[in-house]
């Protein structure tokens, strides 16, 4: 692609991000939803305004943006914060994941869906959208226990989801007569390896960053950490999301000489997020909604039910305030790229189910990416208003 076209597109998309931010503040529509809808309109399912060459940047921008988000979410897992909210975060996240698996599997099985499909979709349903949730919290400028617990849950939710999805994939392959031992080994490597990458980068970063300018890390240092973490994780074929979270958690707990260790990433995160969300919308295909059928509609409804009930049950057991029990599950409804990644993994191991799984997950992702942020924003505003 010619350089002037790249610059024109980048400049236009960043200005779109500014417009989305302005409209979002005046209308209370999540800017994530606005950006995804714009990308959808500009992409191949809309007016096809974006060159296909530009859309291939999506994977690069998604990796970079999500690693930034993971790093910031890891920063929410300070020991002081965990002493205050750790019980709620762990209890709600674990029970929400287990409830999602039980409700989605049972509901789909009762509708006559084959057990391997029901198991895999229930595992995929546990995935959340950390970037979306983080941005909605930032837009609303939500502070306090509810926002802290929500971000803490999102930080570890996909780790739980990855573990349970790996187990369910092994069970699904066993049901179909295929061996699942290799899958389990690969899944353990993805999780343990990601933790290792986060620790390997986070430990020296905690002690070495922020020395040149007292009190703050430089943007070069911050970007260097994100690029290194994402690059090594991809090279080793482990979860860059989990690696970024672990790295952030280590830095926030060990970098005692920093006043604001994540300040620089926050300053430069938004332009990358704009491009990520617009391109996420651009690669969505409207025809996927037409292909999901009754199973897809049931999956969407069951996931909504399981998120709301699982959040309520987990918050109740954790002793959360009544208002938090009511809204935490609703705040956990967004779902994005992690779910698609799970569907691709499942499809590679069970090729006969790949087409069905991808159609359902892509179609439901369109719904959850557009509607999910609205639910999260509604929950944050209601809790903030009633507190």
Reported as a single tens digit per residue, the pLDDT across 291-306 is 677 888 999 999 999 9
CATH code of 58-386, in short, is 1.20.1530.20
**Residue 310's pLDDT is what?**
94
- The pLDDT, as a whole number, for residue 79 is 80
pLDDT > 70? residue 183 = no
The mean predicted confidence, pLDDT, of the chain is 83
Q: Residue 147: pLDDT above 70?
A: yes
Tokens 């994977």 belong to residue: 59
CA distance 357 to 196: 31
Q: Which pLDDT does position 232 carry in this prediction? A: 95
DSSP state of 215: T
Portion of the chain with pLDDT greater than 70, in percent: 89
Radius of gyration of the chain (CA): 20
Please provide the distance, in angstroms rounded to a whole number, between the alpha carbons at the two ends of the chain: 52
Distance CA 58, CA 50 (A): 12
- Split at pLDDT 50, 70, 90, the class of 181 is low
Neighbours of 161 (CB within 10 A): 24
**In the chain, what are the domain boundaries?**
58-386
Query: Any long-range contacts for 227-231 (C-beta under 8 Å, 24+ apart)?
Result: 227/64, 228/201, 229/67, 229/71, 229/197, 229/198, 229/201, 230/63, 230/64, 230/67
**Band of residue 290 on the pLDDT scale cut at 50, 70, 90:** low
Evaluated on CA atoms 261, 267, 273, 275, the torsion sign reads negative
Cα 369 to Cα 376: distance, rounded to the nearest angstrom:
11
Distance from C-alpha of 153 to C-alpha of 88, rounded to nearest angstrom: 9
Long-range Cβ contacts of 310-313 (<8 Å, 24+ apart): 310/95, 310/96, 310/97, 310/98, 310/99, 310/100, 310/103, 311/92, 311/96, 313/95, 313/96, 313/99
Chain centroid to CA 69: 9
In three-state secondary structure terms, 329 is helix
Asked whether residue 315 carries a pLDDT value surpassing 70, the answer given is yes
Among 136-140, 176-180, 309-313, the least confident range: 176-180
CB crowding 297-306: b at 16 or more within 10 Å, else e: ebbbebbbbb
Cα–Cα distance, 186 to 168 (Å, whole number): 14
What average pLDDT score do residues 252-268 get? 69
């Amino acid at each position: 692609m010619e350089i002037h076209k790249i610059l024109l597109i980048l400049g236009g998309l960043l200005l779109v991000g500014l417009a989305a931010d302005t409209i979002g503040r005046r209308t209370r529509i999540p800017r994530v939803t606005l950006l995804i809808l714009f990308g959808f309109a500009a992409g191949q399912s809309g007016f096809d305004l974006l060159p296909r060459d530009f859309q291939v940047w999506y994977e690069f921008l998604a990796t970079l943006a999500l690693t930034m988000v993971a790093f910031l979410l890891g920063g929410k897992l300070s020991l002081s914060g965990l002493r205050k909210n750790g019980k709620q975060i762990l209890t709600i996240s674990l029970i929400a994941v287990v409830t999602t698996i039980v409700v989605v599997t049972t509901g789909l099985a009762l509708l006559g869906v084959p057990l391997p499909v029901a198991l895999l979709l229930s595992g995929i349903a546990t995935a959340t959208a950390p970037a979306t949730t983080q941005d909605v919290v930032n837009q609303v400028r939500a502070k306090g226990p509810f926002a802290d617990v929500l971000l803490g849950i999102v930080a570890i939710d996909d780790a739980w989801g990855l573990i349970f999805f790996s187990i369910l994939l092994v069970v699904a392959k066993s049901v179909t007569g295929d061996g699942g031992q290799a899958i389990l080994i690969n899944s353990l490597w993805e999780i343990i390896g990601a933790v290792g990458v986060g620790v390997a980068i986070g430990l020296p970063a905690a002690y070495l960053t922020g020395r040149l300018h007292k009190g703050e890390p430089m943007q070069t240092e911050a970007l260097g950490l994100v690029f290194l973490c994402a690059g090594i994780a991809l090279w080793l074929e482990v979860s860059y999301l989990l690696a970024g979270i672990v790295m952030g958690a280590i830095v926030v707990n060990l970098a005692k000489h920093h006043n604001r260790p994540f300040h620089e990433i926050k300053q430069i995160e938004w332009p990358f997020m704009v491009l990520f969300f617009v391109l996420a919308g651009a690669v969505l295909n409207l025809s996927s909604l037409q292909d999901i059928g009754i199973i897809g509609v049931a999956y969407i409804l069951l996931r909504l039910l399981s998120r709301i009930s699982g959040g309520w049950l987990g918050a109740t057991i954790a002793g959360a305030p009544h208002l938090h029990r009511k809204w935490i599950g609703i705040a956990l409804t967004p779902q994005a790229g992690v779910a698609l990644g799970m569907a691709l993994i499942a499809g590679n191991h069970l090729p006969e189910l790949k087409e069905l799984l991808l159609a359902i997950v892509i179609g439901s992702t369109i719904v959850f990416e557009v509607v999910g942020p609205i639910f999260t924003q509604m929950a944050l505003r209601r809790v903030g208003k009633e507190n």
